Amino acid sequence: MRYYGDAVQFENEDVAYRAWIDGNAHGFVVNSCAKPSPDYLKMHRACCPSISRPDRDIWTSGQYIKTCSADRASLESWARDHVLGTCTSGCHCMGGRAGQAAVVSPIHAREEAVARQRSAVVGADPGRAPTALKTHVRDGVAAARRAQASLETRGPMPEAAVVAGVTNPLDRILLLTLCASVDRMRDSELWYHQAKALYERPSTAWLFVPDEVVGRDARAVHGALESVGALRFRDDANWWVHNATTWQTEYGGDPRSLLSDADHDGPAILRAIRRKGAGGSRRFYGLGGPKIGPMWLRFLIDVEDMPIRDMESVPIAVDVHIARATFAAGLLRGSHDGSLTRLRARIQDAWAEAATAAGTCPLSFDAALWRLSRDGCTRRPRDRSSDCPARRTCAIGSTCPKGIIDVTSKHVRVRT
């Protein structure tokens, strides 16, 4: 440790740094390169998750070191006297905006790289953000939290209902995994209800035992799904057989083996799912997609309480409901007229920013937002003719922006 008046600097001292953070919750931290330079001196509050997340242990022994003090002015003196620079306070923890720093700093470059990696991990659309929308992190976080608090009063999520009463852990994982794979452009509530019926019926329970699906003709799956009205797309049966066969032949019929192979790391799990097989063939259908993959991880965390790491790098899965709820929560305000596809990356980035500010991961907002839209926002008129009929009873009705929020799978028209 090096001392500069009331400031202390940590380099290659992660344990001591963590101890300082734990004992100075109201203090300040300047993140700098290992050799501090005026180009990059970023001030944070000690409680900011970007410099003190409990699940990370390398803070001062990589590219960056930390200079800390209970007194902000001491850090500004250190920056001025020892680095000949000034601290920037662009982080949300300081009440600033991410882009407020005067220069392009290494951390910004790194954040962009993380965003690019996030896109690469889940195949997100890297389309440019429409300029008429602004991100309001605090509003979005506050609304999401209120929506989360009201979640319990709205009954179990569909994915929780499908495993309710199922005691065998492997059966639960297989139900969640196989069902998620074909959960695309369908009524999820209905689908998980139908899937439960298929699981409970002795004549169709084999669907959820990969070993029993291997070698079956897809027509048998087709018939089983059709018997409960659950055939959504012609490919569903082929996907089911293909995925069950991959689970059986590569992972002994147990998706938990893949999670272990990937060391329970979220991005690594998604990469493993998306890895191609011999001759470039696809090993899994559905699960590797930008929406279903992250959604499946959320199921495993929320429903099965699985310890999956590094979820900060996994973006929220954007479907019509999440997009609609993003505007209703006021996280993005302004105007937009265009495809949902083009907006996806913008929504993911906004929730990533909100998650960083809230000290959580983007997917932690997913269930509440989905429920908010599914149970409430779908009733909002598509034009300005009248207000949302659910406003009075809605958990975020008092802050939900007025105006147009018209979101379909093809087009998004917003004026808020």
> Which residues of the chain form contacts with ligand SF4 (CB under 6 A)?
328, 372, 376-377, 380, 388, 390-391, 394, 396-397, 400
C-beta of 107 vs 325, nearer to ligand SF4? 325
Query: Burial code of 339-372, b = ≥16 C-beta within 10 A, e = fewer?
Result: ebeebbbbbbbbbbbbbbbbbbbbbbbbbbbbbb
C-beta of 92 vs 242, nearer to Zn ion? 92
388 contact choice in Zn ion, ligand SF4, none (CB below 5 to 8 Å, kind-dependent): ligand SF4
- Candidates 78, 328, 284; CA nearest to 181 is 284
Is 48 a binding residue for Zn ion by CB under 5 A? The answer is yes
C-beta of 105 vs 119, nearer to Zn ion? 105
C-beta of 93 vs 377, nearer to ligand SF4? 377
Quickly list H helices, 308-362.
320-328, 340-358
CB of 51 vs Zn ion, minimal distance in Å: 6
Q: What is the DSSP letter of 110?
A: H
Question: What is the rounded distance in angstroms from the CA atom of residue 283 to the CA atom of residue 28?
Answer: 48
Question: What is the rounded distance in angstroms from the CA atom of residue 160 to the CA atom of residue 162?
Answer: 5
Is 91 a binding residue for Zn ion by CB under 5 A? The answer is yes
| Ramachandran class of 360: left when φ > 0, alpha when ψ lies in -120 to 50, beta otherwise | beta
Question: What is the rounded distance in angstroms from the CA atom of residue 100 to the CA atom of residue 102?
Answer: 6
CB of 379 vs ligand SF4, minimal distance in Å: 7
C-beta of 163 vs 369, nearer to ligand SF4? 369
Q: What is the DSSP string of 361-411?
A: -GGGGHHHHHHHHHHTGGGS-SSSSS--TTTTTSTTTTTSPPSEEEE-SS-
CB of 293 vs ligand SF4, minimal distance in Å: 27
180 contact choice in ligand SF4, Zn ion, none (CB below 5 to 8 Å, kind-dependent): none
Question: Helix, strand, or coil here: 2?
Answer: strand
x/- binding map, residues 92-131, to Zn ion, per CB under 5 A? -x--------------------------------------
Residue type, 254: D
CB of 21 vs Zn ion, minimal distance in Å: 12
CB of 42 vs Zn ion, minimal distance in Å: 8
372 contact choice in ligand SF4, Zn ion, none (CB below 5 to 8 Å, kind-dependent): ligand SF4
CB of 394 vs ligand SF4, minimal distance in Å: 3
Question: Helix, strand, or coil here: 67?
Answer: strand
C-beta of 298 vs 380, nearer to ligand SF4? 380
